[in-house]
Amino acid sequence: MKRHLAQAAVAAALSLAAPAFAQDFVTTSAAKTIPGTEGKDIYNAICSGCHMPDGTGATGAGHYPALAGNAMLEGPDYPIHMIIHGQKAMPPVGDVMTDDQIAAVVNYIRHDLGNAFEGETTAADVAAAR
């Protein structure tokens, strides 16, 4: 929490100092990766589109699985693999995120969204899985 507050303060200071606001949306159609560094921001820039902001998933003719309360997220390897390579209808989205972003979002979905799985994922873990 302390870390988050410190970062928020820095972000606020930056936004006051410079006219440019924190980039929260891709700036070009040719963007290779989505913006953002915080797990939550990254989640809400890509993952939430299908898994929904609260991680409850969605159902139509097929469904998008819930991430909230999903036991498959107990270890980080499965979500890392799913993000990078996809599986079945889940597209590989490793190319639209950096290793750091994937690590941050893996931590977010495992630590947040009502989940409390242990362990920190690092960019090095992601790089090793690519």
The contact set with other proteins (CB under 8 A) reads: 25-34, 44-50, 52, 58-64, 86-93, 96
Write the single-letter amino acid at 99. D
Q: CA–CA separation, 17 vs 47, rounded Å? A: 31
Q: Which is nearer to other proteins, 96 or 129 (CB)?
A: 96
Considering the complex, what minimum distance in angstroms separates the CB of residue 17 from other proteins?
23
In the bound state with other proteins, the residue whose beta carbon lies nearer, of 64 and 78, is 64
**48 or 115: CB nearest other proteins:** 48
Residue pair 68/116 in contact (Cβ under 8 Å)? The answer is no
Q: 41 or 107: whose CB is closer to other proteins?
A: 41
Q: Which residue bears the tokens 């820095």?
A: 10
Rounded CA-CA distance 80/86 in Å is: 9
Give me the least distance between CB of 119 and other proteins, in Å please: 26
The amino acid present at 27, given as its one-letter code, is T
**Residue 105 CB, nearest approach to other proteins (Å):** 12
What CA–CA distance (Å, rounded) separates 5 from 69?
27
